[in-house]
Amino acid sequence: MIPSPSSRRASRPARLRRIAIAFVALFAATGWLPTASAEPQAIHRIRWFFSDAVPGRAAPGTGIPFTLPMHWTSGAQSGLRAVSMQGGFILTQVPTGTWAVLISGSSEGGTVFVNGHFVGAVPAETAMRHVAWHRPWLFAVAPSDLIAGDNQLQIRTRYGPGAHALAGITVGPLDPLWDRYTRAEFFATTWSWIGAATALFAAVVAFTIWTQRRDKVSPLLALASGFWLVHAAARLIEVMPASAQAAAEAAYAGGYAGFLAVAAIALLRWRHPVPRRVEWELVAAVAAGTGLLWFENLLDFPSIGDAALVNLAAPIALGAWAAVAIRSFVQSAHDAESAKEDLENRVREREQLLKRNYERLRESERLQAQSHERQRIMQDMHDGLGSQLMSSLMLVERGGVSPDQFAQILRESIDDMRLAIDALAAEDVDMAAALGNLRFRMEPRFRAAGVALSWDARTLPAEIPLHPDMVLPLLRIVQEALTNALKHSHARAVRVTLAATPGEKPDTGWLDIRVTDNGQGIAPDRNAGRGLLNMRNRAQKIGAQLRIDTEPGRGTTIALRMRFEKDATAGLRMRTTAPLNTQAIIEQVRRANPPTGSGAS
């Protein structure tokens, strides 16, 4: 039986009991259980006459006795044989109502007589026409045809080569026999149609599944269904031209055998695969067995009783297969869903991980940038304000510094500090702006000392993209050059020239800064030498070229040359500006790689 949720929970004996009841019910449907009325009589013995000209009431003791149900075969060389089968039944009195004759499972048809009176006829075999009936027959018998005492029933028919059968003859009142007849007819005819339809449907479904999935089991199920369809069709065609007889019988037997063999192999492949060789051996065995039986005319055209079971077998088998297929499908769908859910969970997890990693990365980059900034500030304090204060301290300790000079020293230190702040505090540190600021800061000192400061920055572009690490050190070098010119050269005029020239490659250029004074030049003494060496070192550290032209009495020119590139600052700025939108990045990645729904495959 098709398993249902409730039956799975039932115990084994309970389940078996249910199955048994179901079968018993089916048996009852075939009419094997005795009905309420005891009146219908079954005729169990008949007498056989090889002639259809026998009188309706043949003399007792004649003919060949046979017991029903009976099967007989006829060889091909015999041709068409005529036969009369005669059986008797006893009635105590002539019945009042209509009676009937129920012939179950006669393969031949023929004409039926009761006490010599015609009762009914069914098409029989002729030279042109082959018959193979699988259904019961019911003929009404008038009470006037019956007598009290011994009644004779006769079936006259013909048969040709092949196997034949006569299952049973029952005589009785119409009503109970009608019930039996309809039940038997259902299982003989209607069920065959059901079986054929089921087989067709199953064949189409299995074939479609095979075209989609190309697996090993469904083509066999399609084939088995096809075989059963052939068998059922052969069963349903009961009258055919004589020339089609062999084909019909082959289809009947072949379909049945084919169904058995292929269904068996399908079952094996599904649950307990065996090597190809074994499969073909199975097919060969079934084919051989079937062939042998058919050849020996031992194949039964089944009676009503067997018919019910055999006819039931295929649809039930296909139904069981359908149940299994449904369960498998439901399981697969469930698996796919849970796989999808599992996948989504894992993707979510990965997203979280990714997000955390991004944030961690960004944080470490930020910290790195901060530490870098700190380094820069420390370096500049060392070079700028630090050295300024140190030399001022030396000066003061040596003595001979007036309060005004002291105030001036301190003022210059504050200015230095401002210079650094201006350069460091700006978000986008630009060399041109820093130089402009330097001029602004230095001008008052020059004015106070009465030294003319000319500043020529006509060819300088508005922006010079130098790396931020370069700006302040470069500025300091220029500042020192200016301070030297102001303090030590005794010059009356200092000229600063700033120019930018394009380089060979596009988006590159050279920055030229020139500080010229008309002072006394730099004497080659130790202090000056050390100062200049310091300046050279600083220039070298930032990759700038430094040239000092000096001649005692002829003034000094300090020339700086620095290379700049268009996007030098781009990468650095990214670190310190917009926060990384991790959510947007994850969304982008997701859109590019959508998760697949069918995770199970």
Partner 1 sequence: MSTDPISIIIIEDEPEFRRRFAQIIESEPTMRLAGVAANKRDAQALIDREHFDVMLIDLGLPDGTGIDLIRSVSQKKPDVDIMVVTVFGDEQHVVSSIEAGATGYILKDSTPADVISCIRLLRAGGSPVSPVVARSVLRAIRSRMGAAGSSVGAVGAVSRASNTESNPLSGRETEILQLLAKGMSFNEIGEILGISPHTVTAHIKKIYRKLAVHSRGEAVYEASQMGLLRS
List contacts with partner 1 (CB under 8 A).
411, 414, 417-418, 421-422, 425-428, 430, 432-433, 435-440, 443, 455, 457, 460, 462-463, 465, 569, 573, 577
**CB-nearer residue toward partner 1: 128 or 425:** 425
In whole angstroms, the minimum distance from the beta carbon of 368 to partner 1 comes to 21
In whole angstroms, the minimum distance from the beta carbon of 360 to partner 1 comes to 26
In whole angstroms, the minimum distance from the beta carbon of 406 to partner 1 comes to 14
Residues in the chain: 601
SS3 390: helix
In whole angstroms, the minimum distance from the beta carbon of 464 to partner 1 comes to 8
**CB-nearer residue toward partner 1: 158 or 514:** 514
**CB-nearer residue toward partner 1: 337 or 463:** 463
Between CA 27 and CA 31 the distance in angstroms is: 7
**CB-nearer residue toward partner 1: 574 or 589:** 574
**CB-nearer residue toward partner 1: 243 or 577:** 577
Cα 502 to Cα 364, 465, 507, 562, distances in angstroms: 37, 13, 8, 12
- Give a three-class secondary structure readout of 212-225: HHCCCCHHHHHHHH
**CB-nearer residue toward partner 1: 413 or 557:** 413
Between CA 62 and CA 65 the distance in angstroms is: 8
Assigned token pair, 56 = 């309706």
In whole angstroms, the minimum distance from the beta carbon of 358 to partner 1 comes to 22
**CB-nearer residue toward partner 1: 249 or 430:** 430
- What secondary structure letter does DSSP report for 58? P
In whole angstroms, the minimum distance from the beta carbon of 417 to partner 1 comes to 8
In whole angstroms, the minimum distance from the beta carbon of 208 to partner 1 comes to 58
CB atoms within 10 A of CB 438: 20
**CB-nearer residue toward partner 1: 342 or 428:** 428
Bridge pairing between strands 81-91 and 149-159? antiparallel
Between CA 472 and CA 475 the distance in angstroms is: 5
SS3 127: coil
SS3 347: helix
Give CB contacts under 8 A, 24+ apart, made by 241-247: 241/128, 241/129, 241/130, 242/126, 242/127, 242/128, 242/129, 242/130, 242/160, 244/130, 245/130, 245/132, 245/160, 245/162
In whole angstroms, the minimum distance from the beta carbon of 585 to partner 1 comes to 19
| H-helix segments, 426-507 | 431-449, 468-487
